[in-house]
Amino acid sequence: MLVELRIKNFILIDELSISFGKGLNILTGETGAGKSILIDALSGVLGEKMSTDMIRSGYDRAVLEGVFDIGSLPQVKQLLELSGIDNDDDTLILRREIYANGKGRCFANGVQIPLAKLKEIADYLVDIHGQNEHQNIVQVVKHRELLDNFGGLQSLVQQMHDLHKTLTEIKEKIESFKIDEREKARRIDYLSHAIGEVEQANLQPNEEELLKNESSLLSNAEKLFHELTTVQELMQDDRGVIQNLKKIEMSLGHMANYDPNLSPLLESVRDAYFSLEDTHATLRDYARSIDFSPERINQVEERLALIVSLKKKYGDTIEDVLAYAQNAKRELATITSTEEALDKLQQEYDSTLTKAREVALLISDRRLEAAKKLEGMVTSELADLGMQGTVFRVSIKREISPDGQIEANNKRYILYPHGLDRVEFLLSANEGEDLRQLRKAASGGEMSRIMLALKKCILDADIVDSLVFDEVDAGIGGKTAEVVGKKLKTLAKQRQVLVITHLPQIAAMSDNHYMVQKKKINARTTTLVEKLSDDKKVHEVARMLAGEVVTELSVKHAKELIELASQQ
């Protein structure tokens, strides 16, 4: 519900705040007072196109705010939650800023949002009907949803949606299996070759590093052997280090017999001697391990060349090559087993399609029943609203295609997530005229009455909490005006309704009455809005009855109208 509308620096308005209540909110005022400015401002809050010439002269920006109670709108709460916007107290403040440089900003509860998100949220809040269009009901995309809600088909449509999703998923799996036979044969041949090549190589993790080390050793074997020979000679010949250390050890042994203080030196020399002996033995074994065989060198280089070749084809490392082979095995198994899997998927698809056909045809039958009922109700409402001869029809069509999934009546139809049908509301506003789209079928005033009739009929199916009717009284008067007022009053018992009217019969029905007027303040014309007390409401209705000169008779008549309205 719209709780408050705040306007600043907008067209003729300096700064204005209007609090709206539940039920029927009526706005009246002389022609040109600025009533349409309020609708323009609300439209701006709801995301409609704004232009820089709407900024009040002398200012660089206009600010529009709408405060909404969303306690009864779980869809809006969910949308805000998904968008990361807090709404703990069931209050939503939408803010629109328009700048003279052509830029603008939008906010929801203080969080800046794109204009598209503002419009998405606003679709659940207010419908404006009349010369300014924020009209869910004339959007063809909404007609099917409204008809389904009117007919109570929500659960069936959700079932249809789930079945359609399942069909799409199965179809995608089937298509992924259906590889061209030649391509399939080529892929099998390639995968088999790759797997065989990797398996035949019998690669081992870290093998490449070990082979590189061995290759380096083999390539330098002669140099190593020469150096080893030199070292061994220096250590072991008659004048080598080991022989000399042995002599030193023996001499120190004799000396330690005479002087025990030399024992530590003797131990140190013995340790060095034994260490060198061990080193010499190790070098001797190492020298024996050096392979001068050109055959082994060739074997290592060939092995390294094989590893490089496999890495170029299948991965940067041996581990990558081995992983590629494992993946290739899985893919090969999948391809070679497609026939069985494909048969299973096709059976699942056919079974789901049979169920989808059953549900889709049931929905179509139920839609036809709901459409006939809605047509009768709307036509009756339009007659009450002074539009006798107006024809309202619900067009339900299916799209025929050779590729259609659903077969019925020897034809194939395209299946949508909501079923087979494309739904559109059509209207002939005058007897003898062709049926046309709602948007094209009527004038502004007629459109408001058409919307009023539709809203009254599909009220329970429509989630929008606030309705605005501009020019709902265009071209009517007398008895019809009274009927329109009563219907608005009835509608306002279940929704918040805002109405701009020139008719006293409608104004008398108000739960909250606002008078719009222009005044000069500081030499500038400004639009003001006043919420009327009961006495002022009587005077305003009397003015609407009598014109500028309010008489005792017009006041008496106004009181009678208001009294009658209170009994509705």
Alpha-helical regions (H) of 239-262 = 241-258
Residues 125 and 152 sit within 8 Å (Cβ to Cβ): no
| Mean pLDDT confidence for 543-560 | 88
List pLDDT tens digits, range 283-299: 777 767 666 666 777 78
Pairwise pLDDT comparison (555 vs 258), residue with the higher score: 555
SS (H, E, C) 521-563: ECCEEEEEEEECCHHHHHHHHHHHHHCCCCCHHHHHHHHHHHH
For residue 287, what are the contacts with CB-CB under 8 A and spacing of at least 6?
Answer: 225, 228, 229, 232
Distances (CA, A) of 340 to 68, 171, 174, 332: 58, 16, 12, 14
Domains of the chain: which residue ranges?
A: 1-125+464-568, 183-336
Q: Phi then psi for 429, rounded to 5 degrees? A: -75, -20
pTM here is 0.60
The second-level CATH assignment, the architecture, of 1-125+464-568 is: 3-Layer(aba) Sandwich (3.40)
Q: What distance lies between CA 539 and its chain's CA centroid? A: 52
Give the integer Cα–Cα distance in Å for 242 and 461.
107
pLDDT band at 448 (very low <50, low <70, confident <90, very high): low
Q: What is the pLDDT of residues 491-539, one digit of tens each?
A: 899 889 999 998 999 999 999 999 999 998 888 889 999 999 999 999 9
Residue 462, pLDDT > 50, answer: yes
DSSP 506: H
pLDDT for the residue numbered 164: 96
What lies within 8 Å, CB to CB, of 96 at 6+ separation is 44, 45, 47, 50, 63, 64, 65, 104, 105, 106, 107, 118
Take residue 560 and report the two structure tokens written for it.
Answer: 């009678």
Whether 304 has a pLDDT exceeding 50, the answer reads yes
Instruction: Yes or no: say if 361 and 421 are a contact pair by the CB < 8 Å rule.
Output: no
Determine what percent of the chain is predicted with pLDDT higher than 70: 90
User: What does the pLDDT look like over 130-160, one tens digit per residue?
Assistant: 654 445 667 787 889 889 988 989 899 999 9
Helix (H) and strand (E) counts in the chain: 19, 17
SS3 436: strand
What is the C-alpha separation between 431 and 468, in angstroms, rounded? 28
CA distances from 515 to 10, 246, 499, 531, 541 (A): 18, 125, 12, 6, 10
